[in-house]
Amino acid sequence: MEAIDAAVAKLADMGVIDSARVGITGLSHGAGIVNYEISHTHLFHAAIASGASFDPILYYIASDSYRAAIANYLNMKAPDGEYSALWQGMSAALNAGRIHTPLLINAADAEYIFAMQLAVTLRDLKKPFEMFIYADERHEKNQPRHRYSIYERNLEWLDFWLRDKEDPDPAKAEQYKRWRELRKLQEANEGTQNSH
């Protein structure tokens, strides 16, 4: 996180980027980084995650081998007792009240359940997010039509949130109608954030 934050600051100082229009994306472990970043910083103005967040639900529904890997590599065992503070620090869902970045989640049907704690929490808090679930997919989406859909939607999401740009294609009118409603949520969240 420190390296990403430093890179954004350096590029902004150099005038290479506009710090008010920075997005972040990630796949797999990179999605975990995305979710951590947006729940612990305010650097990003649009985010896309293709993978799970490190939320407590992950521990309870993961396979034994994945749970062992979490314990081994991240020292994260059951999310209660002595490990609850570690999960509290790591989990985007447990820190969702601090998320002010619109989030697009691209989930495989084999894995979307891992993102549900975050998705439900964001919905309950009226935070702007959208999740797409791709049928008959695994960790990496490999069906060409799904990959194309993800690439296209990712670009449109970034254009919408970072450049205030919409594709005029009438076939996409419903998508932008939904996203404009998400923008209203974002504006309400920003108003709440600025009043504190």
CB-CB neighbours of 12 under 10 Å: 15
Nearest to 104 by CA among 126, 142, 138, 132: 132
Residue 157's pLDDT is: 98
Return the CATH superfamily for domain 2-55+91-194: Alpha/Beta hydrolase fold, catalytic domain (3.40.50.1820)
| Residue 51 pLDDT | 82
Q: How far apart are CA 34 and CA 103, in angstroms?
A: 9
pTM higher than 0.85: yes
pLDDT tens digits, one per residue of 15-58? 999 999 999 999 988 999 999 999 999 999 999 999 878 899 98
Helix %, strand %, coil % for the chain, to 5? 60, 10, 30
pLDDT score of 11 more than 60: yes
pLDDT > 70: percent of the chain: 97
Average pLDDT value for residue range 119-147: 92
Interatomic CA distance for residues 153 and 158, integer angstroms:
9
Question: What residues pair up with 50 in beta bridges, in sequence order?
Answer: 27
Angle at 38 between CA 36 and CA 43, to 5 degrees: 125
Query: Which residues are annotated as catalytic?
Result: 28, 111, 139
Mean pLDDT for 74-94 is 90
Residue 152: pLDDT above 60?
Answer: yes
pLDDT at residue 193, rounded to an integer: 63
pLDDT at site 21:
95
pLDDT at 62: 86
Are the C-beta atoms of 114 and 61 separated by less than 8 Å? yes
